[in-house]
Chain A
């Protein structure tokens, strides 16, 4: 940690120095060719067209050399940001004050962020939210519709209204690349003079820096921060630090680099291990084996910094393909680190899903990532890492366990019948032996008949088979091999028990014993 901190200080000092001459800030890594994806995402500067007069003066036979578009490395691409401040009419700020506030906000943002952002700050135009209530009505989709036509990468929508006697500033950040919007973040103050500073702070708290995933080797990744080379004048606004987490998503692009499809990688985050200005190294934390593959042609693999804005996250566990039947009452264990063969993680919090199949995970800055294991009985059904407080609600799909539960229920009942049967048989045999000692052969004959009338091994095995086959078929249809093997295992256990206790030889031996007793008397 200490060395990382030292490295950060050095990096920051270098960054401050470089900021004075951004054109010369070509570090070794920055010179690495940017990926096609990064280039595509960035605004491509067009080569200055040659004036006709110049053409006339040049040799016409000489082929015109159109310089290749300069690809700005991802970590040198600045953000185009718009900030709008909506002021509620009930807030007590006349237009003139609102405009003054916006001006102050602009000054504060620009001074703190520097050239990293190309920022436009204004009073909220018509149609944009003016209060928190209005803000809460807007969804990611509505923001996408409203803002996709604007050439901004980030949009911050702030509102100012009154909550009792307090001024309440609320805001969201919309991200163009991920087409997502943050949760609403609120800040309050009694002092109206503090509103611009509070608004600036809110903007930076909402800001989720983008990263591009450059290289993936097993669970290690290399990333670049957008505009990471432009360190902000305010050092507290350095985009990433070791230990930060990033969510990932993939942008599938068309021929003209238009967005075709957006794919968020679920249950996957990247933990930053090394931060060196615009370059990052991290570790993938995922429910999947290989969730990331690095950016490719027409495919951008990006990430957004996770800023936990909520106090908790609800995780709903549902069976795959059956969202209407959430898995209620299931045991979910919460671990603060991944379980391995050597480290069994004994310190676990055990929760039970409610009727809606939901558990609630409180956000904890000390332990940002929690690992969930959903169980059915003793068998784990699903494992996933979760960043509590990042999103309000997550849905975890687990394999449908109903065929196995049916088998479990029936085998349990068969087992109970088996115990009952064995106990009854033992009692009847004991009574028969007792009667034989007293030479009460009528009773002995009657009891022998009772023993023979009890269900035998063959009948039991037939019942087990009748139970096993359909369940295995269902598991095969679902392509759930784990479940199939569990079903087979359960049936085998009960079969073994039945064979052990219902061995027909025991009944035969009993009859022989009685016959010998009779002969002896």
Chain B
């Protein structure tokens, strides 16, 4: 726009020079008083100059419409002494054209003394010209340029002045959006235009008033604060801000949204420290806080420990500046520790995903602890730990294994205390085909079990198992051994749409010096943005699985790092697509290949999953297992994006699967109920569409029983010796019947892997399976992603590299902390 002005200015100069000649040429003709055809309000841009009397009167001129002003060429109004108006092309210099021209004239006149000859002549011509206003009348084709004696010009109304007038009219009409468009245009192009500042203030005030009238007080603060920043003394702005903040603070306090109330109160205090409402609201909040704290202390003293911390937390939330709050708050919240976690989905919400993931997985991790848990990955091999066994010792070259159960547990431990008959009964149940917990693999492994003592038993195996821990890792003891025994784990005690509360089944006894997490409160937020906001505001202490772009932003924030631990999980999460054995994709290798070749995995990872061009926290994979896993073969066939090959494979698949001249039937895909993964799934679906394969995402409303052809699997697969099976069959349990439709060699190889005891052969078999299944395109490997959990630094006792977000949560301790401490 500046360039446009410069151009107009230069053209103006040229015109003046040109017109000078014209002026002289026309001197003989009485052309000083240009006759112009009266421009109509509707079409001011195309007048026909005739006589002055034809021109419209200034009083009759209407301000051009908004569209003409914004989109049309610049037009100024030259108001003559006769109050007639001539619409001309934009004049220069501007604004105050006449004043500036008069100043130039005076300057020239001062230069006159002392000049002689040609120089004097030239100056005189210039002085003469400055007595005229040279204008171009739009629409005149033959002689559009005219000059008007300056003395005959009463005033010039510039295009910008007209815009200001229109802006005012629009504000009066309540059409603030268009008015703001005018304002923005002018701020950008002519920020110093006379009167713009006043008009801007008025407009912002009008905008705020409209918002206030609509009850949008928060929104009204935006123009008001902007105006306050620009012009503190703008009439009425301070009072309005004060009123709005006061109303907002009171409303937030009424709604028990205390952080919001504090926020408004603080803004009000910073603007008007002496405002009586500041003290009134503050006192009210303080009083409420005191009452809550007193209630909390009463409950605490009465031994209702689970009741006290919620009240104490509320008191701290109401008025963190309360005197002695820290000292009074600490014993209550540290006696019964509540971990507040921010999530976007709670357990039990509708999902078509058939596997435990996200909220369901978190619930399972809180609820039960398996016989063996994954402890760490050591050079690609999973290492396990057990909360139940003191030791497990192989005997007779591994044909038997003696298990010794723990006889006691720490007060903080939430797992059940098992005895040998219970464990043996549990194992035996899994070996009986009629039992719902029947585990074919385990049944084929165990020959007999001998109970030696209440804490000791020995299993005799049919054959030596390669990794008994991996098999036992899928066995969860009952949380309540019998009706009389105490409860264990963390169980749901409150399930509401906005939050789920998990409480420790086995409470820690009184009189301990140090207590641990008693409750986990999962708060639901509409988005991850809100989770991060809640984390920073102190509403929650932990965000378990934030998208990578949020994590990176938090990692880059020194203030966040000062207050939070950002912990990577021990094992990256693997993303892959599996094919249901009974689906067309499960049956046709060509179709699987077509699906695989058409995915631009690196793009998907960078654009959708991580939103990071460097993909610092993610890698492409060729195997379902972690990158360093022993099950990965170097001979596996790498997957490459090749649209041509995908198309060719799609054609081959449709020839095999679909009737002649018909397309492959629409496939159905299930994806985890997570925004990121669903976005990735939709992106893949778009890619598949390009090669003529239609895939639809199964809606969550259909539930986990919904039929599907493809499953977007997200999770950790640390142990190839047991995890190959679910990859091939899409069934978490190793069931031989699931392999019926698979080729004989695959069935035998999986069985061989199950039977092999020699670790070297296990590794060879796993790698061989990887090689063969990669060629067979039995799965579609996507990428592995490093996930992180963000924990406030008042939380202690978690593993440095957690396996999942609630890894050993019963051992965590939460130091007393509240916002504003």
**Contacts A405-B744, A423-B645: A352 and B590 contacting too (C-beta < 8 A)?**
no
A486 to chain B, nearest CB (A): 12
Whether the pair A406, B745 counts as a contact (CB closer than 8 A) is yes
Mark interface residues in A381-423 (1 if CB within 8 Å of B CB, else 0). 0000000000000000000011001101100110011011001
Whether the pair A424, B463 counts as a contact (CB closer than 8 A) is no
In the complex, which residues of chain A have a beta carbon less than 8 angstroms from the beta carbon of B736? Answer: 328-329, 352, 354-355
B415 to chain A, nearest CB (A): 31
> Who on chain B is nearest to A450 by CB?
B644
Complex Cα gap A426–B589 (Å): 18
Question: Which residues of B721-765 are within 8 A (CB) of A?
Answer: 736-737, 739-740, 743-749, 751-752, 754-755
The stretch from B405-413, B530-538, B646-654 touching chain A is: B646-654
In the complex, which residues of chain B have a beta carbon less than 8 angstroms from the beta carbon of A324? Answer: 463, 755
Complex Cα gap A427–B590 (Å): 15
Q: Does A478 contact B (CB under 8 A)?
A: no
Complex Cα gap A409–B765 (Å): 14
Whether the pair B751, A329 counts as a contact (CB closer than 8 A) is yes
Whether the pair A426, B648 counts as a contact (CB closer than 8 A) is yes
B241 to chain A, nearest CB (A): 66
Q: Does B775 contact A (CB under 8 A)?
A: yes
Whether the pair B649, A420 counts as a contact (CB closer than 8 A) is yes
Whether the pair B772, A409 counts as a contact (CB closer than 8 A) is yes
Our pick among A328, A330, A402, A412 for the contact of B743 (Cβ within 8 Å) is: A412
Q: Does B593 contact A (CB under 8 A)?
A: yes
B491 to chain A, nearest CB (A): 36
Q: Does A431 contact B (CB under 8 A)?
A: yes
B334 to chain A, nearest CB (A): 52
> Who on chain B is nearest to A356 by CB?
B444
> Who on chain B is nearest to A413 by CB?
B775
**Contacts A405-B745, A420-B645, A427-B645: A355 and B444 contacting too (C-beta < 8 A)?**
yes
Whether the pair B772, A413 counts as a contact (CB closer than 8 A) is yes
* Count of residues in A whose CB is under 8 Å from the partner chain: 29
**Interface SS of chain B: helix, strand, loop or mixed?**
helix
In the complex, which residues of chain A have a beta carbon less than 8 angstroms from the beta carbon of B649? Answer: 420, 423
Complex Cα gap A412–B744 (Å): 11
**Contacts A419-B652, A420-B649: A325 and B590 contacting too (C-beta < 8 A)?**
no
Q: Does B440 contact A (CB under 8 A)?
A: yes
Q: Does B181 contact A (CB under 8 A)?
A: no
Complex Cα gap A275–B689 (Å): 75
Our pick among B647, B748, B752 for the contact of A427 (Cβ within 8 Å) is: B647
B622 to chain A, nearest CB (A): 16
In the complex, which residues of chain A have a beta carbon less than 8 angstroms from the beta carbon of B441? Answer: 355
Which residue of A355, A405, A419 has the most chain B CB atoms within 10 A of its CB atom? Answer: A355
**Contacts A329-B736, A355-B440, A423-B648: A416 and B776 contacting too (C-beta < 8 A)?**
yes
Whether the pair B652, A412 counts as a contact (CB closer than 8 A) is no
**Contacts A426-B648, A428-B644: A409 and B749 contacting too (C-beta < 8 A)?**
yes
Q: Does A377 contact B (CB under 8 A)?
A: yes
In the complex, which residues of chain B have a beta carbon less than 8 angstroms from the beta carbon of A19? Answer: none
Q: Does A376 contact B (CB under 8 A)?
A: yes
B112 to chain A, nearest CB (A): 75
Complex Cα gap A327–B234 (Å): 91
**Contacts A402-B748, A405-B744: A423 and B652 contacting too (C-beta < 8 A)?**
yes
Complex Cα gap A401–B749 (Å): 12
B81 to chain A, nearest CB (A): 73
In the complex, which residues of chain A have a beta carbon less than 8 angstroms from the beta carbon of B651? Answer: 423
Complex Cα gap A291–B755 (Å): 35
In the complex, which residues of chain B have a beta carbon less than 8 angstroms from the beta carbon of A354? Answer: 440, 444, 736
Complex Cα gap A118–B537 (Å): 100
> Who on chain A is nearest to B746 by CB?
A409
Mark interface residues in B643-674 (1 if CB within 8 Å of A CB, else 0). 01101110110000000000000000000000
In the complex, which residues of chain A have a beta carbon less than 8 angstroms from the beta carbon of B748? Answer: 328-329, 401-402, 405
Whether the pair A329, B772 counts as a contact (CB closer than 8 A) is no
> Who on chain B is nearest to A324 by CB?
B463
B641 to chain A, nearest CB (A): 13
Question: Which residues of B366-416 are within 8 A (CB) of A?
Answer: none
Question: Which residues of B557-592 are within 8 A (CB) of A?
Answer: 589-590
In the complex, which residues of chain B have a beta carbon less than 8 angstroms from the beta carbon of A355? Answer: 440-441, 443-444, 736, 751, 754
Complex Cα gap A469–B441 (Å): 35
Complex Cα gap A325–B463 (Å): 10
Mark interface residues in B435-457 (1 if CB within 8 Å of A CB, else 0). 00000110110000000000000
Can you report 20 residue pairs joining A to B where beta carbons are below 8 Å apart?
A329-B736, A329-B739, A329-B748, A352-B737, A354-B736, A355-B444, A408-B743, A409-B743, A409-B772, A412-B743, A416-B775, A416-B777, A417-B775, A419-B589, A420-B593, A423-B590, A423-B649, A424-B642, A424-B644, A424-B648
Given contacts A329-B748, A405-B745, 6 further A-B pairs with CB under 8 A are A328-B751, A355-B440, A412-B743, A412-B776, A413-B776, A419-B652
Q: Which 3 A-B pairs have the closest CB atoms?
A: A423-B648, A409-B745, A355-B444
